[in-house]
């Protein structure tokens, strides 16, 4: 599907192999998206009524093939300050990786590259320019890590694949401690359109404040429509020497995308249910969420294609809060954000 393919082309790790020898080993590409936004209602008074135009992401990607089996990628990202604090767009390295394809179709990746906890789900969703997928959005994992991955098909038809990743658990930053993360996933994508994923991650932290995360995805995409359901669970152990409780965080998410006129017009809707207070959601860029209670996020909109690589997507994000378990805490005001999202890729 076009939406998923376009995002994947600029967010995933380098594809195995390279172009025929007659073609250039160099490839330059890019991606831009942002919004005209309006916070019609917000739990935080500092955000309510704010509106403006911002670039949320600008990617510039350089791919180079040393040989058909050895490739490299360097991707630079720039984005606006997502906390209404203004300033210049900030550039930083998004990807810096070396990929080696061996033993047929097995692939070893070294460097800064996508987290396998997020990359596959993001390609199924296919609307990263509208919003991140749940593990990324709610900060249960990062979209990138620096380390080593190995991946490849497990059958001749390549419908069943595995991925294992060992990394620093530092996102786009440098290593800062001796603690590491390991992620493993099984992926199935059949000819009928059925998509399945199971993923597990273990993240070691100081003072035994370790975390585990798991997710299961069931999806289907064929013809003009695709849909998926995702369940994710993270368990956070409290630091030694504190009275803080262990945390269990449950997320349920489902979406539907319908291409009513392929490469012309589509509609989409997604619902996320965060069944616990989200400890890190106040720091979400472009959409801060209250941390005192559980909530439901609804995303709905339409996408108009000027040409296949240039799109305009009016949409709304509505965060509906439940009453806090502590009756002494007032129920937050719901968040309603209207967006006119623009996206182009080359």
Dist CA 79 CA 87 (whole Å): 10
Structural domain boundaries in the chain: 2-345
**Residue 118 DSSP one-character state:** T
Task: Report the C-alpha gap between 186 and 160 in whole angstroms.
Answer: 7
Main-chain phi, psi angles of 253, to 5 degrees: -145, 140
- For the cut 90, the answer to whether the pLDDT of residue 18 exceeds it is no
Phi, psi for residue 208 in degrees, rounded to 5? 60, 25
Confirm if 249 and 234 have CB atoms less than 8 A apart.
Answer: yes
As beta bridge partners, residue 78 has 58, 91
What tokens appear for 186 in the block?
Answer: 């099984």
CA–CA separation, 320 vs 334, rounded Å?
5
Q: Tell me: the pLDDT tens digits for 91-124? A: 999 999 999 999 989 999 999 999 998 989 999 9
Rounded Cα gap, residues 149 and 99, in angstroms: 9
Record: fold of 2-345 = Porin (2.40.160)
Which structure tokens are listed for 307? 């040409």
Helix (H, G, I), strand (E, B) or coil at 11: helix
Q: Count CB-CB contacts under 10 A for residue 156.
A: 8
Length of the chain: 346
Residue whose tokens read 């370790």:
210
Q: E strands, the chain, where?
A: 26-41, 51-65, 70-79, 90-102, 106-114, 144-153, 160-167, 181-189, 194-203, 211-222, 225-236, 247-261, 265-274, 295-307, 310-321, 335-345
Q: How confident is the model at residue 175 (pLDDT cuts 50, 70, 90)?
A: confident
pLDDT band at 22 (very low <50, low <70, confident <90, very high): low
Cβ–Cβ under 8 Å, residues 179 and 166: no
pLDDT for 330 equals 95
pLDDT tens for each residue of 186-206: 999 999 999 999 999 999 999
Q: What's the pLDDT at 284?
A: 97
């Amino acid at each position: 599907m076009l939406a998923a393919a376009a995002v994947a082309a600029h967010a995933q790790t380098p594809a195995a192999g390279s172009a025929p020898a007659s073609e250039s080993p160099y490839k330059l590409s890019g991606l831009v998206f942002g919004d005209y936004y309006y916070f019609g209602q917000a739990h935080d008074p500092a955000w309510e009524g704010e509106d403006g135009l911002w670039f949320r992401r600008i990617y510039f990607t350089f791919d180079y093939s040393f040989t058909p089996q050895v490739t490299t990628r360097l991707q630079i990202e720039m984005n606006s300050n997502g906390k209404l604090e203004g300033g210049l767009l900030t550039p930083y390295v998004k990807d810096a990786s070396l990929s080696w394809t061996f033993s047929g179709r097995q692939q070893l990746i070294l460097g800064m590259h996508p987290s396998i906890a997020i990359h596959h789900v993001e390609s199924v969703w296919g609307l990263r320019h509208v919003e991140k997928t749940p593990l990324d959005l709610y900060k249960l994992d990062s979209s990138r890590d620096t380390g080593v991955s190995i991946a490849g098909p497990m059958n001749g038809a390549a419908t069943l694949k595995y991925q294992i990743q060992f990394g620093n658990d530092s996102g786009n930053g440098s290593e800062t401690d001796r603690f590491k993360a390991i992620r493993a996933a099984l992926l199935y994508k059949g000819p009928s359109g059925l998509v399945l994923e199971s993923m597990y991650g273990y993240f070691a932290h100081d003072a035994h404040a370790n975390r585990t995360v798991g997710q299961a995805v069931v999806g289907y995409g064929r013809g003009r429509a695709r849909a998926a359901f995702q369940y994710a669970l993270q368990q956070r152990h409290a630091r030694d020497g504190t009275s803080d409780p262990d945390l269990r965080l449950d997320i349920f998410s489902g979406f539907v995308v319908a291409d009513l006129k392929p490469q012309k017009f589509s509609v989409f809707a997604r619902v996320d249910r965060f069944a616990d207070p989200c400890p890190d959601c106040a720091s979400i860029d472009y959409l801060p969420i209250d941390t005192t209670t559980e909530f439901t996020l609804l995303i709905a909109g339409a996408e108009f294609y000027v040409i296949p690589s240039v799109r305009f997507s009016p949409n709304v994000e509505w965060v509906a809060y439940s009453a806090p378990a502590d009756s002494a805490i007032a129920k937050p005001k719901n968040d309603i954000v209207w967006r006119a999202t623009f996206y182009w890729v080359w």
